[in-house]
């Protein structure tokens, strides 16, 4: 387990706030827009913004012909699988509960690394997994009766979590000679094209004239915060840290989602949410706080 630099630590804090608040913001957007249209619109706008931003910083943007299979292969789990499945989950469930289910991802990350890539299960990672699982159980406590009536939403979120976990592991092992920011742009562009095709086939056209000011603000947040700054931070972090650490280090995101939901969509937390905060802190500490080395 490696220690974090100050820059990496601040990146984790920023990402936690951005993605935590994004869960109730998505729920707010889905009040006026269908799931696939929402994802396609915000993802494509964010991808265009990122393309301009990254190119303006002097990066070589155009991949070689031999790089496209790897780009598309990484885009499927990291972008299409996670973002398409999770938006269906948010549409079915309360935003805070969907966030909790989505962040079973770190457990899948560890299991994939152990089963398929021969990684060692350390005591600290095992503790982090156990604490994260305990937090999830507590946070779902109040929702068990609702979830049993909405199994499809739970299924969408667990497929999304497993897909994101696989993408995180593959990002770490990629042999693609490309800057992480450039790779992020092309994965989002490829994913948004697939989402536009699915939205065109499965959903009604976007009702542009009916959007409220709040709706436009939530779309802006989704495009330029969730798919802009946060994506750059995440893929840069995922490619520079061990998969288990980069996954576990942002376990506070569901907590931020739950605590911001009352002010955005009127979803109030319960006592289980507060107790679960302790377990989330334990999960984060298990991978971030390094033990002191004793002098020999």
Whether residue 164 is contained in a domain is answered as: yes
The confidence score (pLDDT) of residue 142 equals: 61
Give pLDDT tens digits for 52-84. Answer: 999 998 999 999 889 999 999 999 999 999 999
Distance CA(242)–CA(172), nearest Å, equals 7
9-18, 34-43, 65-74: least confidently modelled range: 9-18
Confidence class for position 24, pLDDT limits 50, 70, 90:
very high
Is a pLDDT exceeding 90 seen at residue 243? no
- Positive or negative: CA dihedral 119, 121, 122, 128: positive
Residue 146 — pLDDT band, cuts 50, 70, 90?
low
178-209 pLDDT, tens per residue?
888 899 899 999 999 999 999 999 999 999 99
Instruction: Report percent pLDDT > 70 for the chain.
Output: 85
How many distinct structural domains can be found in the chain? 1
Please state, in angstroms and rounded to a whole number, the distance separating the CA atoms of residues 263 and 129.
30
Supply the mean pLDDT for the chain.
Answer: 84
The reply to whether 45 falls in a domain is yes
Q: Is 127 inside any structural domain? A: yes
Is 266 inside a domain boundary?
yes
Burial class (CB in 10 A: 0-12, 13-18, 19+), 107: buried
189 token code pair: 């562009």
Tell me whether residue 179 is in a domain. Answer: yes
Highest mean pLDDT among 115-119, 123-127, 158-162, 266-270: 158-162
pLDDT digits (tens, 9 = 90+) for 118-141: 878 788 888 888 888 888 777 677
When pLDDT is cut at 50, 70 and 90, the band that residue 116 belongs to is confident
Give the pLDDT of residue 148: 54
> What is the C-alpha separation between 184 and 266, in angstroms, rounded?
33
| Secondary structure (H, E, C), the chain | CCCCCHHHHHHHHHHHHHHHHHHHHHHHHCCCCCHHHHHHHHHHHHHHHHHHHHHHCCCCCCCCHHHHHHHHHHHHHHHHHHHHHHHHHHHHCCHHHHHHHHCCHHHHHHHHHHHHHCCCCCHHHHHHHHHHHHHHHHHHHHHHHHHHCCHHHHHHHHHHHHHHHHHHHHHHCCCCCCCHHHHHHHHHHHHHHHHHHHHHHHCCCCCHHHCCHHHHHHHHHHHHHHHHHHHHHHHHHHHHCCHHHHHHCCCCHHHHHHHHHHHHCCCCCCHHHHHHHHHHHHHHHHHHCCCCCCCC
Q: Tokens standing for 264? A: 């955005």
User: HSE (CB half, 13 Å, CA atoms) of 155?
Assistant: 5
Q: Residue 3 carries which DSSP code? A: P
Measured CA to CA, the distance from residue 1 to residue 55 in angstroms comes to 34
State the residue range of the domain holding 39: 6-57+65-206+213-288
Residue 295 — pLDDT band, cuts 50, 70, 90? Answer: very low
Residue 132 lies in a domain: yes
The answer to whether residue 294 is domain-embedded is no
pLDDT for 1 beyond 50: no
């Amino acid at each position: 387990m490696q220690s974090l630099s100050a820059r990496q630590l601040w990146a984790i804090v920023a990402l936690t706030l951005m993605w935590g608040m994004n869960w109730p913001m998505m729920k707010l957007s889905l009040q006026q827009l269908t799931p696939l249209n929402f994802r396609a619109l915000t993802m494509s706008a964010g991808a265009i913004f990122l393309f301009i931003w990254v190119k303006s910083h002097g990066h070589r943007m155009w991949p070689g012909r031999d790089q496209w299979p790897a780009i598309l292969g990484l885009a499927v789990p990291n972008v299409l699988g996670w973002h398409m499945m999770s938006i269906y989950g948010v549409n079915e469930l309360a935003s805070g509960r969907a966030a909790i289910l989505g962040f079973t991802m770190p457990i899948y990350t560890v299991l994939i690394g152990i089963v398929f890539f021969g990684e060692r299960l350390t005591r600290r990672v095992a503790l982090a997994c156990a604490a994260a699982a305990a937090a999830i159980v507590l946070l779902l406590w109040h929702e068990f009766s609702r979830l049993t009536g909405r199994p499809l939403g739970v299924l969408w979120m667990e497929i999304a979590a497993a897909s994101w976990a696989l993408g995180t592991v593959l990002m770490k092992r990629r042999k693609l000679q490309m800057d992480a920011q450039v790779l992020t742009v092309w994965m989002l562009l490829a994913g948004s094209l697939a989402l536009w095709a699915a939205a065109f086939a499965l959903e009604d056209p976007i009702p542009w004239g009916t959007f409220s000011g709040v709706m436009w603000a939530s779309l802006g947040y989704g495009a330029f915060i969730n798919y802009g700054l946060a994506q750059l931070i995440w893929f840069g972090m995922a490619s520079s840290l061990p998969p288990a650490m980069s996954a576990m280090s942002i376990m506070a995101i569901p907590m931020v989602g739950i605590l911001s939901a009352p002010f955005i969509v009127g979803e109030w937390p319960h006592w289980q949410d507060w107790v679960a905060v302790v377990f989330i802190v334990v999960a984060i500490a298990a991978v971030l706080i390094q033990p002191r080395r004793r002098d020999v």
